[in-house]
Amino acid sequence: MPQASYYKKHLERSLQREAGKADWGAGEGSVIHYRVRVDSLRIEAAGDVVRVHCSATGELPNGKSARSRLSFSGAPAAERKLVQEVLSLVARGLVTRLAELEHRRRSQAAH
């Protein structure tokens, strides 16, 4: 995929930003491990519209996982910005769900 390294870096930055904002249910300075895999990222041009489809999976070490799928469309001139937006939203969705799962696990372990 053209610009794959750029999009990978954008996704990594988005994941870091969202992970820093999320409430993981852990204390300050705690380390949370998670893994994210982009299952597919497709950019389809059809006439005067570009469609970006992304599917990704996030996993926690305890076996819990979350999946995010998103499709957006827009003008071909804004393709790069559209891909960035889709990747940012996928990152936000995955991290939010993973943080919710981890927070719930920690709450249950405390009781």
Q: Can you give the pLDDT at residue 30? A: 86
Where do the structural domains in the chain lie, given as residue ranges? 4-22+32-110
Write down the CATH number for the domain with range 4-22+32-110: 3.30.160
Residue given tokens 């597919």 in the structure block = 40
What tokens were used for 59? 């996993």
Residue 19 and residue 95 in contact, taking contact as beta carbons nearer than 8 Å: yes
**Residue 15 DSSP class:** H
Give the pTM: 0.91
Q: End-to-end distance of the chain based on CA atoms, in angstroms?
A: 48
pLDDT tens digits, 62-80: 899 999 999 999 999 999 9
Q: Can you give the pLDDT at residue 88? A: 97
Confidence band, pLDDT 50/70/90 cuts, at residue 41: very high
